[in-house]
Structure 1
Amino acid sequence: MTNAKLGDALRLLGLDRATVRVYLALLEKAPAPLTEIAAAAGLDGAALVTAYDALVDAGLASAAEGDSGVVAPVPPAAGLEALARRRAAEVEESRIAVGGAFESFRRQRLAAYNDGLVEIVTGEAVGPRIRQAWTSAREQIRQFESPPYFPLATATDDALATLARGVTQRVVYSRASLEHPGHLKNVIEPCVNAGEQARVLPTVPVKLVIIDEAYALVSLSIKEADVHNTMLVVQPCGLLSALMALFEQSWHNALPFHGSTARPGGLAPADRRLLWLLAGGAGDEVIAHELGISRRTLFRRLQILMARLGAANRFQMALQAQRNGWL
């Protein structure tokens, strides 16, 4: 390694330039009297004493006895380890200091710029704010829907009233929504039959309601505890634009849950529900429970539907059902 690179390496460990010069001279001349090392490093007096003492403290050189004492470098392993640890601690302190300074700046700047871009709503205020959102919609509501649910008794009535006012409602349901006890029958199907456009994904990235292009409600739900008592209200900003783009991409990738309220080809409502659940990814036990039938009866009805559609398996049946407008 050249002296220049070695000097850079030593400075990275926290040694100043004078100390580095003394160490390089030590490697070149030692063992030698300290006066000879001083001459090679171009230092004398207090500057020399300070630099050499720093090497001794760092565990890189032996102590000198007087100005003319013979000195030499020592094996650096222990000293380098101590220097590296000290340097790491200093870097960590610097990182914390800079991060804290920027966080303080960010809070002050955002507060001065606009403190209302994101509002936090908690506890009992969540329900009224959700109702207000549905009431305020004028053109379109876009929603990611998944458990856990806020205990709002009027939620389905509010959604139906919004649809009755002519507001377009597009909802991407998670598979967990279809499997949530009673949710399909009491919430999803009434809204779909009232004109809601629904699609299904295995999971949704976040619980979300976008009201027109005015603002969004983002739930801070805790799935493990089945808690939904905090949400963010996001006003027009880059975050709202990102949420709208996320919804549109997810909508594009989701499977249509319902295409027509008619009964094409004489399809019975129960069979149509069966196909909806199957297309949504619900398991056999969930489908049987929702339809109020046994697993054996479910398998028999699936066989009848597959024969009617000329399908050899469930995947082909889903494709044929979609082509026939049954989904």
Structure 2
Amino acid sequence: MTGDRSNDDADTETRRGLLRAAAGATVAGATGTAGCLGVTTPADVAARSEVSGNVGHFVGPGWLAENRDETVVLDARDAKLFREERVYGARRVPLDALAARESTDEGDAPDADAIAAAFGEAGVAPDDDVLVYGASVGSRVTRVAFALAAVGHEGSIRVLNGGLSGWNGRLGTGSRDRVPPTDYEPDPAPSTWVTREWLADRVGTFNGDGPGLVDVRVPEAYLAAAGADALNDDHDRHGHLPGAIDVHWVGNVAGRRMTDPGRLVRLYEVEAELDRSETVVVYGDDNVDPTSTWLTLKAIGFEDVRLYDGGFGEWANVEGDRGRYPVETATNGVLETDGSVGGDDGGGDFSCTG
């Protein structure tokens, strides 16, 4: 299977035209302001989660049903939910291991060895075609997808739109059957992330002459709103990287599905004025939530999207000459988003139980 790699090589201009017109790229039944699904029958739920048109990485239950035998299915939820009910044959991967970082002279970066070891323990081979699912398409799921890309995974990487609730096929329960581990040798892909020093070298150019920069946190954190619960007490400084625009990541998710792709194109390309042909960097307080925006941008055709894996936590607390790592609180741009994350796949107060 060529999977996402063939999608990436598809006719780029056709994709751009269709997406800009918000035509030919729809997620059945999804809207940018939807909350949790109104469930009728399993078939109805599955149908709402189907994906069509020029959308990369996200697939519906129908695709999984057709390709189940050739696909390694990874469950991004916690161990308790995994034991209660899961896609039959799925393997659970631990989020903590896949979010592991290592300290380098340039700043924090994904710990490729730790991440690869976690995939190897789950029996994943570098050339396996992989589908990841959770309770929804929240940031737990997208962190797994990013981790695969960061270690240079050779097979395709897909996410199940609608999460487990959209799957109406065979289910499994209890402890998983033991899958023999593999020796997963990472081939780190540094083009998927940036470091603190990479950003420091470009301060003053973001969303101008240099890369696009998106802060995925809530506006209160971006603006360092005094007394806001969103402010992290562990940070020495509050605000955002100079020049960053704020687009809260929950706007990517409509309940358990991805937001309508046409709306996402308008949000990021028209309202945020990001250039899909240029480098775009996303960051948050940590290295989990921003992966939602990382994968969303790639799915709607952005060509070079990277994650600041150290996150604002590293930037705000850096030691030494902080003049090289400035923080500002002025409003460069806060874009309002509507969204809600179903299940336990991230989103904090924005979650609904579904």
TM-score band, normalised by shorter chain: under 0.3
Larger radius of gyration: 1
Structure with greater contact order relative to length (CA < 8 Å, sep ≥ 6): 2
The structure where strand makes up a greater share of residues is 2
